[in-house]
């Protein structure tokens, strides 16, 4: 029995963030990568050409196509000259030195983030009072996910892990009003997220690393019962609030 030549194994060259995806999801990411270099209305090719590029079966490709259409990245035209075309790009919401591409209603997403930021200090106060050793361990697990995404330079995975950390902090709160309100806001924002893009003002990996270190400091302060955690969350949200003043933007 022979083994693959290491340099030719798929797992050696594919993006690490794809390795836990299904085949349709991987194909969707390949299509999204093709769209990234195009203007709205540009033609990618025929369905068969793009399917062959992705190297998947017809059924897998159709599922991948459904996924990218849901994300508003591609539209299909039939008839002569038809095929796959780059769609109008998604609305953007500014978040620090990054842009969140969302599926629709960017104004509502920006408002939900603003409200979430306003509630953060209350939840940090509760975490300082009530966080158990088990809670702290769960927060550090989310920090490890953030570190992995930061090392992979995967902005979308980083933001999702970031929000998962904030959700874990929120779960410590005993408040029957504050906790579900905050978690619902997070769920609303995350459900509309398509991707994270750089602004051009600061390299995205640099921004991600800064945000990671800020969250490490936050969890360390909560673990120590140190009220410095309130200063850290204030720094965290001051940056966010200033960014949100720009409001949602369209491509």
What pTM did the predictor assign?
A: 0.66
Q: In the sheet that 98-102 helps form, which strands lie side by side, from edge to edge?
A: 193-198, 98-102, 92-95, 248-249
Tell me the torsion sign for CA atoms 44, 45, 51, 54: negative
Burial class (CB within 10 angstroms; exposed 0-12, middle 13-18, buried 19+) of 12: exposed
Helices vs strands, H then E, count in the chain = 10, 7
CA 240 to chain centre: 16
pLDDT at 180: 96
Fold for the domain defined by 92-249: 1.20.120
pLDDT of residue 19: 55
In the chain, where the domains are located: 6-86, 92-249
Burial of 148: CB neighbours in 10 Å, binned 0-12, 13-18, 19+:
middle
Contacts of 136 (CB under 8 A, 6+ apart): 219, 222, 223
* The predicted structure's pLDDT at residue 6: 46
70, two tokens: 């849901």
Bridge partners of residue 248, in order along the sequence: 93
d(CA 198, CA 212): 16
Q: Residue 241's pLDDT is what?
A: 47
The distance in angstroms from the start CA to the end CA of the chain is 52
Q: Please choose, from the candidates 9, 19, 16, 26, the residue with its C-alpha nearest in 3D space to the C-alpha of residue 148.
A: 16
**What parts of the chain have a pLDDT lower than 70?**
1-20, 88-90, 200, 239-251
Q: Does domain 6-86 have CATH number 1.10.10.10?
A: yes
Q: Which helix (H) or strand (E) holds 210?
A: helix 204-224
Q: Are 145 and 20 in contact (CB under 8 A)?
A: no
Contacts made by residues 28-32, CB under 8 angstroms, sequence distance 24+? 28/64, 28/65, 28/67, 28/68, 28/71, 30/54, 30/64, 31/64, 31/65, 31/68, 31/73, 31/74, 31/84, 32/68, 32/71, 32/73, 32/195
What number of other Cβ atoms are within 10 A of residue 213's Cβ?
11
């Amino acid at each position: 029995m022979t083994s693959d030549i290491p340099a030719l194994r798929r797992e050696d060259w594919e993006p690490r963030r794809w390795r836990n995806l299904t085949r349709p999801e991987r194909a969707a990411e390949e299509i999204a990568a093709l769209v990234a270099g195009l203007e709205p209305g540009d033609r990618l090719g025929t369905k068969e050409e793009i399917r062959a590029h992705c190297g998947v079966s017809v059924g897998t490709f159709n599922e991948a196509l459904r996924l990218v259409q849901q994300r508003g990245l591609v539209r299909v035209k039939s008839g002569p000259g038809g095929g796959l075309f780059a769609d109008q790009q998604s609305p953007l919401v500014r978040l620090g030195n990054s842009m969140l591409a969302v599926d629709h209603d960017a104004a509502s997403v920006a408002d939900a983030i603003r409200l979430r930021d306003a509630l953060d200090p209350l939840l940090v106060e509760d975490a300082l009072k009530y966080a158990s050793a088990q809670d702290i361990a769960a927060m550090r697990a989310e920090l490890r996910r953030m570190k992995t995404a930061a090392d992979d330079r995967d902005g979308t995975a980083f933001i999702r892990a970031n929000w998962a950390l904030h959700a874990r902090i929120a779960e410590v709160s005993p408040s029957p009003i504050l906790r579900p309100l905050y978690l619902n806001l997070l769920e609303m924002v995350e459900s509309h997220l398509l991707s994270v893009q750089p602004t051009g003002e600061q390299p995205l990996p640099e921004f991600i690393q800064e945000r990671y270190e800020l969250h490490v400091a936050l969890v360390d302060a909560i673990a120590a019962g140190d009220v410095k955690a309130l200063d850290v969350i204030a720094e965290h949200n001051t940056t966010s609030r200033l960014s949100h003043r720009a409001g949602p933007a369209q491509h």
